[in-house]
Structure 1
Amino acid sequence: MKDYELIDKTLVIAPLKVAIETWPAELKKWDAFHDFTCSVITGPPAKRLAALDQPADLYIINRENVVWLAEFYKKRWPFKTVVIDELSSFKSSKSKRFKALRKVRPLMDRVIGLTGTPAPNTLMDLWPQIYLLDGGQRLGKTITAYRNRYFYPASSSGHVVYSWALKPGAEDEIYNAIADICVSMKAEDYLKLPQRLNQTVSVELKPKERRQYDELERSLVLELNGTEVMAANAAVLSNKLLQMANGAIYDDDHKVQLIHNAKLDALEQIIEEANGQPVLVFYNYQHDLDRIMQRLPLAHKLETGDVKKWNRGGIPILLAHPQSSGHGLNLQQGGHIIVWFSLTWSLEYYQQANARLDRQGQTKPVIIYHLVAKDTVDEKVIEVLKNKAAGQDELLNAVKARIKSVRGEISGKIK
Structure 2
Amino acid sequence: MKYIPHEYQNYAKQKLIELPEVGLLLDMGLGKTVTTLTAIDELMYDRFLISRVLVIAPKRVAEDTWTTEAQKWDHLKHLRISRVLGGRKERLAALEEDADIYVINRENVVWLVDLYRNTWPFDMVVVDELSSFKSNQAKRFKALKQVRPLVERFVGLTGTPSPNGLLDLWPQMYLIDRGKRLGKTITGYRERYFNPGKSNGYVVYSYELKPGAEEAIQKLIADICISMKAEDYLQMPELVVNDIPVKLSAQELGKYRELEREKLMEIDGDQVTALNAATVYNKLLQMANGSVYSDDGTVVEIHKRKLEALEEILDTANGQPVLVFYNFRHDYDSLVKAFRHYKPRTLKGQEDIREWNAGRIPLLLAQPASMGHGLNLQAGGHIIVWYGLNWSLELYQQANARLYRQGQKQGVIIHRLVAAGTVDEEVIRRLENKDVTQESLMEALKARIKKIREGK
For the criterion TM > 0.5, the same-fold answer is: yes
> What SS does the corresponding residue of 2:197 show, helix, strand or coil?
strand
Q: 1:372 Cα deviation (Å)?
A: 0.1
Indicate conservation of the 8 Å contact 2:171/2:186, yes or no. Answer: yes
Residue 24 of structure 1 corresponds to: 67
Q: Take 2:141 and 2:271, find their aligned partners in 1: how far apart are those partners?
A: 32
Task: Please list, as runs of the form range in 1=range in 2, the aligned pairs for 1:304-323 lying within 5 A after superposition.
Answer: 304-305=349-350, 306-323=352-369
Partner of 1:128: 171
2:452 alignment counterpart? 406
Letter of the 2:454 counterpart? G
Look up the match of 2:347.
Answer: 302
Residue number in structure 1 paired with 2:278: 235
Normalised by the length of structure 2, the TM-score is 0.88
Shift of 1:32: 2.5
Match of 1:155 in 2: 198
**Residue 190 (str. 1) matches residue 233 (str. 2):** yes
User: Which structure 2 segments of 5+ residues have no match?
Assistant: 1-43
The corresponding residue for 2:34 is none
1:222-261 correspondence runs (5 A)? 222-226=265-269, 228-261=271-304
Aligned residues: 410
- Measure how far apart 1:227 and its partner are: 6.2
SS where residue 307 of structure 1 aligns? helix
Opposite residue 169 of structure 1, the aligned amino acid is: G
Structural mapping, 1:195-344, within 5 Å: 195-226=238-269, 228-297=271-340, 298-305=343-350, 306-344=352-390
Other structure's SS at 1:338 match: strand
Q: Secondary structure at the match of 1:409?
A: coil
Distance 2:257 2:373 in 1: 36
CA distance in 2, matches of 1:222, 1:52: 53
TM-score, L = length of structure 1: 0.97
Could you tell me which of 111, 123, 138 is aligned with 1:80? 123
Q: Distance in 1 between matches of 2:56 and 2:186?
A: 23
Q: Distance in 1 between matches of 2:323 and 2:355?
A: 13
| 1:170 has 2:199 as partner | no
Task: Pick one of 419, 426, 432 that aligns with 1:380.
Answer: 426
Contact residue 85 and residue 104 of structure 2 kept, 8 A: yes
Q: Which whole-Å CA distance do the structure 2 matches of 1:65 and 1:216 have between them?
A: 40
Task: Name the counterpart of 1:56.
Answer: 99
Distance in structure 2 (CA, Å) of the matches to 1:87 and 1:103: 17
- Tell me the residue number matched to 2:189: 146
Q: Could you tell me how far apart the structure 2 residues matched to 1:47 and 1:233 are? A: 39
Task: Please list, as runs of the form range in 1=range in 2, the aligned pairs for 1:32-43 lying within 5 A after superposition.
Answer: 32-43=75-86
For 2:152, the equivalent position in structure 1 comes to: 109
SS of 2:345's partner is strand
- Cα deviations by residue, 1:18-72 (Å, 9 ceiling, x for unpaired): 1111110101222331221111110111111111111111111111111111111
Q: What's the secondary structure of 1:301's corresponding residue?
A: coil
CA contact (8 A) 2:205 2:439 kept: no
Hey, what's the Cα distance between the residues in 2 that align with 1:240 and 1:85?
32
Is there any run of 5+ residues in structure 1 with no aligned partner, and where?
411-415
Distance, in Å, in 1 between the alignment partners of 2:435 and 2:70 is 35
Contact 2:268–2:449, Cα closer than 8 Å, also in 1: no
C-alpha separation between the residues in 2 aligned to 1:111 and 1:389?
Answer: 31
Cα-Cα RMSD: 1.2
